[in-house]
Amino acid sequence: MGRTDPAVEWNDASVQWFDESILRTERFATAIHGGEALVTSMPQDPNSLTGEEIDALWSIRDPVNGEIKLKKALTEYPASADELHTQIARSQGLQGRFHEAWEEIAKVSTTPHEVVQIRVQLESGRLKNTSGDTKESQAHFLKAFALAKQGHFDFYAVDAAHMLGIVSEGQESIQWNEKALKLAANSKNERARKWRGSLLNNLGWSYFNMGDFNTALVTFESALEFQQTTGNPVRIRIPRWAVARCLRALKRYDEAFAIQNDLIQYPEQGYVSEELGELLLVMGRPDEAKPRFRRAYELLSPSLSSDPNERTRLAPLKELSQ
């Protein structure tokens, strides 16, 4: 198949690919140290949640249940309402309920904390991108990046740069990913530094989509090395999948198949099955490929059918499964 593979949106707390989750937000005070802003937690208000606590309420794997938890938190922690609205909007957008998501963004107060202002721009950009308006999303991400840089919020600056890498193409995408990597490497904020694995992943896809498979492979291998230091098995599986996908592009089919055949042992949401089907086709084993494509279609349909950027991926899977 001639499809390319999109960059993946991650962060430091969970991942998006076959065991995905996206979360972001903090309610933090800024302390200046050594000329560079550090982000430190504010004293806990009994009527508020920290950003990490808000993040923990939901996951892209289950945005429906996450939305319920976030809305419940609105009544219990009114001081965090602005941040909670942005996350509710995010969960609704992932369900394809874009009109409701924009209404949720509109509920943010007219004088929000500067971090919330950044998050409004980030989530507005993500809503635009998820609904298929990639060009319009760039303006929001650029504004988020400028606000985060101005306020010395490194974590959000990296987030915005990483999103600009996703919605850009070619050399521009590479430049934004490299800028994000540099910001993460130079930051004194631990959450910002943890972006390195996801940024290397997305940089690898930029090279991949430009047809530079050798550079992409080296970049994915660097992402794998980074994730191996975390000890998180899900995070390790993601760059392993990317390495194998790149090996297929380089026609190193046996190596790619060995990796994917190992990954299929873990719970997955369809991408491994899809890739095994592709490999079996190019290896001249179409009868074995059909059940893999069938399984991929079953697993991917619920999520991809609501994503305008991925919807066209389903029809070939269904055809190849028959």
CB 93 within 8 A of CB 126: yes
What are the average pLDDT values for consecutive 10-residue runs of the chain, which has 322 residues? 44 37 25 31 66 84 93 95 95 94 96 93 96 94 97 94 93 94 93 91 92 97 93 90 97 97 86 94 95 90 68 79 79
What whole-number distance in Å separates Cα of residue 61 and Cα of residue 303?
A: 9
What tokens appear for 245 in the block? Answer: 């996908």
Element (H, E) at 40: strand 36-41
Q: Terminal CA-to-CA distance of the chain, rounded, Å?
A: 16
Coil, strand or helix: which one is 245?
helix
In this prediction, residue 308 carries a pLDDT of: 60
3-state secondary structure string, 56-104?
CCCCCCCHHHHHHHHHHHHHHCHHHHHHHHHHHHHHHHHCCCHHHHHHH
Cβ of 13: how many Cβ atoms within 10 Å?
A: 15
**Angle, CA of 284, 290 and 292, to the nearest 5°:** 100
In this prediction, residue 317 carries a pLDDT of: 83
In this prediction, residue 2 carries a pLDDT of: 40
Q: For the full predicted model, state whether its pTM sits above 0.85.
A: no
Contacts 24+ apart (CB under 8 A), 213-218: 213/246, 213/249, 213/250, 214/250, 216/246, 216/249, 217/243, 217/246, 217/247, 217/250
What whole-number distance in Å separates Cα of residue 116 and Cα of residue 90?
A: 14
- The CATH homologous superfamily of the domain defined by 1-187: Tetratricopeptide repeat domain (1.25.40.10)
CB 273 within 8 A of CB 264: yes
Please classify residue 256 by burial: count the beta carbons closer than 10 Å to its beta carbon, then call 0-12 exposed, 13-18 middle and 19+ buried: buried
In this prediction, residue 22 carries a pLDDT of: 25
In this prediction, residue 320 carries a pLDDT of: 85
For residue 26, the number of C-alpha atoms closer than 13 Å in the C-beta half-sphere is 23
User: Strand pairing of 28-33 and 36-41?
Assistant: antiparallel
In this prediction, residue 255 carries a pLDDT of: 98
Residue ranges of domains in the chain: 1-187
